[in-house]
Amino acid sequence: MKKKIIETTAAPSAVGPYSQAVRANGFIFVSGQLPADPYTGELVRGDIARAAERTIGNIQIILEAAGAGLDDVVKTTVYLKDMGDFARVNEVYAKYFTKAHPARVCVAVRELPKDADIEIDAIAIAAKE
C-alpha cells in the first residue's frame, strides 16, 4: 500500500518539515498536536484542561480529514511539561476516548515546541479505501 499524506486547513499547520498525518498500511499516524487554535495558530495557555481539549480536538479534525474518528484510535502518546497536570488531562482524555480505550503512554518532558504544556500524537485504524 502506498502512503498517503493527510492535510487539512481545518487543523493547525505543521510547524516543521512533517505532515499532519500519514495514512499507510491500514493505519493513520497523526503527528504530535499542540493546543493550537486551528485558525489563529495561538496556543491555549494557563489552563491544562482547555489545552488538552484543544489538542485532542486537533487530532479529531485530522482523523476526520482521513475518514476516521477518535473511536478508531489504537495508541496515543501524551507529552506533558508538568506531570502534576496528569489527573486533569486524564479527566479530559476520558471524555473523548470513551469506547475501548486506546493504548497510551504519558511522559513528562523538559520542553515542547512553542513552549506548549501538552502534545499528543495518535495512531488510528484507517477505514477501508
CATH number of the domain residue 9 falls in: 3.30.1330.40
Q: pTM of the predicted model, to two decimals? A: 0.95
| pLDDT tens profile 55-91 | 999 999 999 999 999 999 999 999 999 999 999 999 9
Q: What is the pLDDT of residue 122?
A: 98
Q: In this structure, which long-range contacts are made by residues 39-45, counting pairs with CB atoms below 8 Å and at least 24 apart in sequence?
A: 41/12, 41/13, 43/114, 43/115, 43/116, 45/117
50 is catalytic: no
Could you report the per-residue pLDDT of 89-110, keeping only the tens digit for each? 999 999 999 988 999 999 999 9
Cα–Cα distance, 121 to 107 (Å, whole number) = 12
The per-residue pLDDT for range 23-55, each reduced to its tens digit, is 999 999 999 999 999 999 999 999 999 999 999
Nine-digit cell string for 45: 495557555
Q: 123: which residues sit within 8 A by CB, 6+ positions away?
A: 27, 28, 29, 30, 73, 74, 75, 76
- Domain with 109, as residue range(s), is 4-125
From the candidates 14, 106, 112, 123, which is the catalytic residue?
106
Number of domains, the chain? 1
